[in-house]
Amino acid sequence: MPKFWCGIDWSESLNDVAVIDESGEMVAHTRVEATPEGVKEILALLRGLRTNHTHSRKQVPVAIETPHGLLVAALRAKDQPVIVLHAGAVARYRGRISPARKKSDRTDAALLANIVRTDGAWHRPMPRTSQEAMAVAVLARAQRKAVHTRQYHRNQLRSLLREFYPAALEAWQGLPHGIVRAEARALLALAPTPGQARALRKRHIADTIAAAGRTRLVDDHAERLRHVFQHHHLRHPPHIEEAMGQQVQAALGLLNQACASAEQLTEAATTAFHAHPHAEIYASFPGCGPLIGARLLGEIGDDPGRFTVRGLRAYAGAAPLTWESSSSRAVTHRRMANSHLKEIGHIWAFATLTRSPGCRAHYDRRREQGDRYAAALRNLYGRLLSCLHFCLKNSTPYREETAFPGSCE
């Protein structure tokens, strides 16, 4: 049982550090920067709370409102237990202690420590995730952001083309990825306006799309594109069209950069995932490719004691939430969960429907019982997470006949 508790109210410049004792009284306070000297000062402060040999700084939990940053990383590297508190929960505690909700950095640091002192059983230290898994998490989240950025610039370019260049949208309509395709971006760079596209010869189009990576039916595709560009559409006056063409080139440059970043981070995340010891277990699951596996591993981590089966399902948003009061009772889906896991879980569960007879049968059964599409997928995702927890705990790959008995008959 700790005798002291520490709270850190972090900021970009100075971080307030407060230590309280068993009675809730502040026994130490300092302000440090997120530097090696600042970390040494915090550790020295915690180490000097008692002079007898039974005290260790590692017995003092440190509460803070962010899991990120160099200060948190430095404390974890020194094996200091760090507990992350949600900022919204801390704000509610502030009103509970003081109706006026007064605020200062010093009192906020003491408040964080007091929360852990009084309700420490409800808060756990940050998991002991390996550096390899943390690297996968960084790359997987960065890849996810890059994909969203690519989609944003794709939408911006599409909106612009719709205003004056409908042939460009028609040219790749119905093909996977549309104007994000490498051949589409290369041809738009060659002819950013409808007038320039109408002037293109079939050979110019064929050479451009071949250089962009197209290998099959190049001449047929070039002829189809030339026919689309030759078709009459409404046009802006030449000067306006030329100005909008320059805008297309600028938007195309941003899209090209976003595509390159997404491809680079996808390769990096995949490589880091395959290098992790748990990669084979994740890859043994149906529908779990390198990217899905990297996102799952990055969010779940590899600390064996971090989750129970029930806790993992709740953390991922796959466990239902029950609201019960007096004679009323309602069961809804869980909104407060790891948003990254919820998103990738929907994709993973959907991907298994055509790859696993057991998953398909489980989904169909839930639909027959009255679940809607999203609810049935969430239930299937929860079942897969239970299987994943078992496989990781026992270091065994996924087996269809064990996860879904009777599905392989």
Please list, in sequence order, all residues whose beta carbon lies within 8 angstroms of the beta carbon of residue 201, skipping any fewer than 6 positions away: 226
Q: How many CA atoms lie within 13 A of 273 on its CB side?
A: 29
| Residue 406 to residue 288: CA distance in whole angstroms | 22
pLDDT score recorded for residue 92: 85
Count of beta carbons in the 10 Å neighbourhood of residue 394: 9
Instruction: Give the pairing of strands 321-325 and 328-332.
Output: antiparallel
| Residue 125 to residue 63: CA distance in whole angstroms | 9
pLDDT score recorded for residue 65: 94
pLDDT score recorded for residue 80: 94
| Residue 149 to residue 143: CA distance in whole angstroms | 10
pTM of structure: 0.88
pLDDT score recorded for residue 331: 79
pLDDT score recorded for residue 326: 76
SS3 126: coil
pLDDT by residue for the chain (409 residues), tens only, comes to 778 999 999 998 899 999 999 998 999 999 999 999 999 999 999 999 887 778 899 999 999 999 999 999 999 999 999 999 998 888 888 877 666 667 788 999 999 999 999 998 889 899 999 999 999 999 999 999 999 999 999 999 999 999 999 999 999 998 899 999 999 999 999 999 999 999 999 999 999 999 999 999 999 999 999 999 998 888 899 999 999 999 999 999 999 999 999 999 999 999 999 999 999 999 999 999 999 999 999 999 999 889 999 999 999 999 888 888 877 888 788 888 899 999 999 999 999 999 999 999 999 999 999 999 999 999 999 999 999 999 999 999 999 999 888 765 5
Whole-Å CA distances, 391 to 295, 296, 385, 398, 402: 17, 14, 10, 7, 11
pLDDT score recorded for residue 321: 84
Among the listed residues 250, 235, 242, the one whose alpha carbon sits nearest the alpha carbon of residue 156:
250
